[in-house]
Structure 1
């Protein structure tokens, strides 16, 4: 899998989440697949559920969304609008793979896992809201395939229970994602430093599932060394799709990936000394020069030698050694870099 190849090479794996941004149209779904590939995404992700597998058709107060983007929608109606028809899945998967991307889906119940197994998915994602669905996590873990679990809203104990559930099945291929399940997410609630703490506490790689607007959070996460970034993609904000408010459009997604790759280049490796690009500048460091004409036998003073650019003369560490104690062995013209031959033995 490209995911593990990237992790070995410290490269960030980019997941483009389609979610409900297809607006119920297979043509738009395939356009999003192409947009993600054109942007340089490594993986195209969808969600596998129906309204009936994620909730029930009940229009009472507990099932009403009371705040946020989907305020006043009942859960069943919201998921009916947002879901991706299962009969599209194989077509989307094949198109993504044809374009060089890997394919990923989030199952929300046992039937979705069985369905995805039948079409040969390579790995799975568990959504933040399902981190407390221990039977579902166990079912996915028992496939033996790599798993990604988002941790939005989860307490430390809830994350630990999910991790232990996976590991008890013998499945060691687990990655967690730091996530804030607010749509969109404010920067002040991202708390990216938690990524480092999660890695230490749970002993698995930790990436980022990002619902914030823009790409600043993603670049910061790359600087922290995340192996994965998941971000929602839409074709255009003007489409007003169900997740469009916290998605990147196709051009923004492309720019994010460019910025991520440039951030990786900037992070580079541990190194000291001049780089190849600095070779020319290296010659313009400071060294000791005669800044007046100096006669043979004359004492070196602050008035006749100085530390200046460029770096043709003796190292500046010898300045104090010369000053008011050593004499010139020969005439030294103004602007001459000092050498040991210029000093009386």
Structure 2
């Protein structure tokens, strides 16, 4: 597997700025013009891509209100799955227009397909990449179907055990996927910071040797910014024009000014990580002059003994390094020395060395 991948010509991976995906989801509220405005706001906010979800209520579930078909999650409690997906889905006959609008405004667009027919639709539209949602990361046939396109693939790992993630990764590789990214994810809505466990990001990278990132459902921008500082190369966040407008995902979605903050701060955090490098940095070179060093702090006569009273470790840094302090104590001065002189070996009687 590669250390980096490309989506629509954009390089993604360690050493590059985090790739920020604005998730449209159902925040269009059933209005294509609103979807267009969300895309435009995402572009203006600095997001790299807008992502859709390609399904219908019939490709997701069946119209049934029996046990298990009624949602028990807080945000959507009491609604049937079929009804919820009917409201939240992005109509398939919008897709061509959405792809066209993305091209017009200069933002990358791709989607999460939820069944084979959705993959076929997106292939016809020339989708540059695919995303497998957390709830589908156990759908091995779907992962293989997507991988057969040979397009870059992002898989969210929400709810998945390490064994289940291994199965998904193997399915992607078996299907021919060569550019793979795993997104650490907590599939609760909203997700709590306490359950975020960003330490999983480095574990996923070590275990699978792929690009890693975060699909975040927490409130605000703290978690994704922190993720950028621990190696997340991709950040996905639900996006809306205003939470006050409502919508199935609005509660845990970012508004435009928050998305701009996320984009800017996450990139700064990634830059701050930098590389392993010890020793003075270019910006520290002037500061070296103000480290501690050994100085003569009282007038000393030739032959006089150096003591804690007449030599000290002080700033600035023009004398001998403080590590020589004990080696100089009790030695004789080779000459007269004025107070304020930086200590050198020339001040020590050679017979004492």
TM-score (norm 2): 0.91
State the alpha-carbon separation in 2 of the partners of residues 171 and 315 from structure 1: 57
Does residue 1:267 correspond to 2:273, yes or no? yes
TM-superposed CA distance for 1:10, in Å, is 4.1
Superposed counterparts of 1:49-198, under 5 Å: 49-198=55-204
Return closer, same or farther for 1:307/1:237 CA change in 2, 3 Å cut-off: same
Question: Do 1:131 and 1:162's aligned partners in 2 also have CA atoms closer than 8 Å?
Answer: yes
Name the Cα RMSD after superposition: 1.9
CA positional deviation for 1:258: 1.4
Q: Would the alpha carbon gap of residues 41 and 111 (structure 1) be closer, same or farther in structure 2, given more than 3 Å must change?
A: same
Note if 1:341 corresponds to 2:309.
no
The residue aligned with 1:312 is: 318
Question: Aligned in 2, Cα 1:14/1:305: closer, same or farther, shift over 3 Å?
Answer: same
In structure 2, stretches of 5+ residues that fail to align are 1-5
Q: 1:64 to 1:289 in 2, by over 3 A?
A: same
Distance 2:25 2:76 in 1: 15
Does residue 324 of the first structure (1) align with residue 327 of the second (2)? no
Distance 1:160 1:272, change over 3 A: closer
Q: Residues 276-318 of structure 1, C-alpha deviation per residue, up to 9 Å, x if partnerless?
A: 2212221100111111122233221111111100011122222
Picking from 39, 48, 53, the partner of 2:54 is 48
Match of 1:215 among 212, 221, 231: 221
Q: Is the 8 A contact 1:134 1:162 kept in 2?
A: yes
Question: Is the Cα–Cα contact under 8 Å of residues 289 and 318 in structure 2 kept in the other structure?
Answer: yes
SS at match of 1:34: helix
Cα-to-partner distance string for 1:199-258 (whole Å, 9 max, x where unaligned): 343343332111111222212322221221111111112112211111111111111111
Residue aligning to 1:244: 250
The residue aligned with 2:35 is 29
Q: Provide the residue aligned with 1:289 in structure 2.
A: 295
Aligned match for 2:23, one of 7, 11, 17: 17
